[in-house]
Amino acid sequence: MTDSILKVEHVSLAFGGVKALTDVSFEVPRGAVFSIIGPNGAGKTSMLNCISGRYRPQAGAIHFDGRDVTRLRPNDRADLGMGRTFQNLALFGHMSVLDNIMVGRHHLMKNNWLTGPLYWFSPAQKEELAHRREVEEIIDFLEISHVRKAVAGTLSYGLRKRVELARAMALKPKMILLDEPMAGMNLEEKEDMARYILDLNEEFGITVVMIEHDMGVVMDISHEVMVLDFGKKLISGDPEAVMADEHVKRAYLGLEDEQLQEAG
């Protein structure tokens, strides 16, 4: 992890008179699990939205894989290898699990409206079969084969989170942005999701940028952690060093000076 896949430089974002982010800069090493933490309203999701292209910052620049993507649309960033999941599930509830994941392959398909109608007599059939093989590998990896034909809207919350991760993986991303991937899960579901995140990072070589409130998970699987507070960067670095910082304890854990002294 010697070079950076993502560089955020002096990014500021405001909605009217409300400052969501103020002069935030950081780098994500290629191949890392990089967690963004902070209290509610710290600007974590706003930062992910700037990185993914959903928001355009008023100041600063964002470079992904050596390219300035500050003004690129979200679909153009996906073409470059940037995947995304959302805090609130964004699945097509009426579609099957398989079809939801296939949507993630859409930007990789080469056939168009001219060749598509000639499905049986053009490369379109072979292309779809190749994409389905890729999707089936992801389904096996995330252990959701038993629900592959189920309607996504009928699944449990934990399984729907897994399907959304599968759809993001179907993009074949170099980097994946995860917005609270374990929110609302029970302990067993969290352990499973943490294992999948580690495996997609280690086995698929995907860089992970993750927002997560479960500090146990953050400490266990992150290579680096950045803390935001009121839209400003407090600190970034090794998880243990970050969590030992007094400013982090005060801002994120809500400890007072007396408690900080007792905690040592």
Q: What is the pLDDT of residues 180-213, one digit of tens each?
A: 999 888 999 999 999 999 999 999 999 999 999 8
| Residue 151: pLDDT over 50 | yes
**Token pair of 86, please?**
């959302």
What CA–CA distance (Å, rounded) separates 36 from 227? 6
Phi, psi of 178, deg, nearest 5 = -115, 115
> Do 179 and 161 share a structural domain?
no
- In whole angstroms, how far apart are CA 190 and each of 113, 184, 215? 42, 9, 12
DSSP letter at 151 equals B
Domain boundary among 123, 145, 172: 172
Contact between residue 10 and residue 62 where contact means Cβ atoms under 8 Å apart = no
> Do 216 and 177 share a structural domain?
yes
Task: Give the model's pLDDT for residue 258.
Answer: 47
> Do 189 and 257 share a structural domain?
yes
Containing structural domain, residue 113: 92-172
What CA–CA distance (Å, rounded) separates 247 from 188? 32
> Do 150 and 45 share a structural domain?
no
Q: Are strands 33-37 and 18-29 parallel, antiparallel or unpaired?
A: unpaired
Tell whether 228 is covered by a domain.
yes
**Mean pLDDT for the stretch of residues 55-68:** 97
> Do 150 and 188 share a structural domain?
no
Q: What is the pTM of this model?
A: 0.85
Domain boundary among 172, 187, 210: 172
Closest Cα to residue 12, out of 50, 45, 39, 67?
50
> Do 177 and 151 share a structural domain?
no
Task: Give the model's pLDDT for residue 88.
Answer: 64
| Residue 114: pLDDT over 50 | no
Tell whether 211 is covered by a domain.
yes
**Mean pLDDT for the stretch of residues 110-129:** 54
Residue 202: how many other CB atoms lie within 10 Å: 11
As for how many domains the chain has, the answer is: 2
- Percent of the chain past pLDDT 70, that is, above it, reads 83
State the Cα torsion 180-183-188-191 to the nearest 10°. 20
257: pLDDT confidence band, cut at 50, 70 and 90?
very low
Task: Give the model's pLDDT for residue 104.
Answer: 73
Closest Cα to residue 152, out of 90, 85, 87, 84?
90
